[in-house]
Structure 1
């Protein structure tokens, strides 16, 4: 099988799975699926993952060119509109990835523009970031590393002011989260003590460095953001890429680095692969290394963790994703964002999408 064939076949299986999932969930949003039966746990409004389902539908519409698939993607994206004014920095994840792959869809473009302005309005100049927010309960004034991906390109789409806010949001999170090793995923602002590290997610959380690497890669592809600290961002990207540059066993990281006997997290690997593909499109001495590592990760995911066409389980499931190791929730499951980023990476390899733009 040629290098192109394995990616083509895997992408076809994942996007075929999207059609099966759509028939199962109807007007709800898939979250994670049982690794044996393939049945999905769903949410009514999409939570912070709703944009990844819309994004998968758009990828399928691009792949098939079918009007029915395009209409399904457009309808799903429209259901994300309730999140535009929600007090949450996960609007970056929801409304960037839910609209970024849309094809000639005025509704998606309008939704993205509204979301960008709403997030810009939520930017706190004193803190230098868009706070995590209160939409999901708990303290509002959090800096969380998963508040950065999606938010950077979304803010950057709001003109010069938006690019400045995007740069500040990213650099502030780098200041707070990337100061030590391992990365600190979450901090809470206390008026009398300033920023204080939180225990959940813990240092060593697999998606912490993956999310930040993705945000840095996106920033470097946006001149208005990159102009406000490109050299630093290049250095941070190189530092974050180091943990995935070792032995083959590290291609799919542990969900919690402090639990060497615990589950791995294929969703973190797929996020990392997409980030590395983006970095590989930038000029510099590491471009070939980033590209090679990204392809190695994608191939490992397809070879060892993606269900095939002749098994008892549905084809196109990216297994061994870990939703929440600390709480023991869906530790070896198919995760909707894992599927999305694997599909996005494969779509980039096969030429279906330009990874620099989404």
Structure 2
């Protein structure tokens, strides 16, 4: 099978995979009701759920919006709109993951001609995140909503927050740029990139042990954030393009594994399909940016990489019932073969991109 033919002939694999995913989303919606799915048992498929969505609630809302976009069903749209409004409790929570929750949970709905209440929620969230920006640290701190030290910089606190901050009037663009570049400065100061840093006195930072270097989603989250930064912020001093090049060299090189190990120190251990799905979306975003600047060769290379990842995920890791399996929630707790709600989201979004259902920067 040729993965380059994603939407026609033998390559209709992408459309078939999407159809399977939508069936899974509908089953999940019936199962979880007003709660939010987090991860599902690899054998039974039963979901671990949360009442408020935790840091992943925006991905469930985003999945529902993607399903509504695909089906055009008013009932699906209503379900997505209701889910998005249930994320409002996160606006005032002290966590940088508000970017993940409140950008991906609103972005597809809040565009021109979209859902007015989602657009209002996005603006409310953008203003709240801008108010949380720490000028001295040069970022929105990780926060204490999930316990642990508050003054952390973490790679998973960057994606989503960059475009969300950019939508805040009165300094949002500057805060978004500062938040992104400070994380890149810290995380890329070591090889492999270190995902977490703790603020000390007088502007100093020290390495934080969790997550450890070699964590599967470090480069994926950063690559996604840099792609959004290049789109929403432009390139002020070429630092974003240089960071994109370094991260792409790590994950988009021809010899890089399509589905990375959950921990680099255990190359033969569990893999993390959710990291691969994030990388595929980031690659397609970067491909669109490269083509917009006339670099067709680089655009084709990045798009091909993203397409190969998506094809591998659908052929090897997608269950007959539409669940993206083999995602690593927490390898130390034995949660390393699971369906993850954000894995499903990024796989669905990647497939939506290659089939033309949506565009790279709608979310």
TM tier relative to shorter chain: over 0.9
Q: 279, 282, 285: which one pairs with 1:272?
A: 279
Q: Which residue does the alignment assign to 1:340? A: 345
Classify 1:8/1:248 alpha carbon distance in 2 versus 1 (closer, same or farther; 3 Å).
farther
Q: Which residue does the alignment assign to 1:50? A: 57
Moved more, 70-79 or 243-252: 243-252
Q: 8 Å contact 2:6–2:355 — kept in the other structure?
A: no
1:69 aligns with 2:85: no
1:123 aligns with 2:133: yes
Q: Which residue does the alignment assign to 1:211? A: 221
Q: Which residue does the alignment assign to 1:353? A: 358
Moved more, 152-161 or 262-271: 152-161
Moved more, 289-298 or 239-248: 239-248
Q: Which residue does the alignment assign to 2:45? A: 38
Q: 225, 228, 236: which one pairs with 1:228?
A: 236
Q: 8 Å contact 1:243–1:250 — kept in the other structure?
A: no
Pairwise CA RMSD of aligned residues? 1.4
2: distance between equivalents of 1:49 and 1:41?
Answer: 12
Q: 8 Å contact 1:281–1:356 — kept in the other structure?
A: no
Structure 2 unmatched ranges of 5 or more: none
Q: How does 1:1-358 map to 2 (within 5 A)?
A: 2-4=5-7, 5-102=12-109, 104-159=114-169, 161-191=171-201, 194-222=204-232, 225-229=233-237, 231-246=238-253, 250-282=257-289, 283=293, 284=295, 285-308=297-320, 315-325=321-331, 327-358=332-363
Q: 8 Å contact 2:108–2:362 — kept in the other structure?
A: no
What is the Cα deviation at residue 259 of structure 1?
A: 1.1
What is the Cα deviation at residue 106 of structure 1?
A: 0.9
Q: 8 Å contact 2:220–2:278 — kept in the other structure?
A: yes
What is the Cα deviation at residue 237 of structure 1?
A: 1.2
What is the Cα deviation at residue 271 of structure 1?
A: 0.3
1: distance between equivalents of 2:306 and 2:203?
Answer: 41
2: distance between equivalents of 1:21 and 1:12?
Answer: 14
2: distance between equivalents of 1:342 and 1:287?
Answer: 20
Per-residue deviation, residues 271-317 of structure 1 (Å, max 9, x unmatched):
00000000000123521111110000000100110012xxxxxx110
Structure 1 unmatched ranges of 5 or more: 309-314
What is the Cα deviation at residue 245 of structure 1?
A: 3.8
Moved more, 107-116 or 248-257: 248-257
Q: How many residues align?
A: 348
TM-score, L = length of structure 2:
0.93
TM-score, L = length of structure 1:
0.94
What is the Cα deviation at residue 58 of structure 1?
A: 0.4
What is the Cα deviation at residue 248 of structure 1?
A: 6.6
Per-residue deviation, residues 56-86 of structure 1 (Å, max 9, x unmatched):
0000110111111011001000000000010
2: distance between equivalents of 1:28 and 1:292?
Answer: 37
What is the Cα deviation at residue 100 of structure 1?
A: 1.2
SS of 1:221's partner is helix
Per-residue deviation, residues 230-266 of structure 1 (Å, max 9, x unmatched):
x221121121112334567700001100112310000
2: distance between equivalents of 1:147 and 1:245?
Answer: 22
SS of 2:242's partner is helix
2: distance between equivalents of 1:167 and 1:190?
Answer: 22
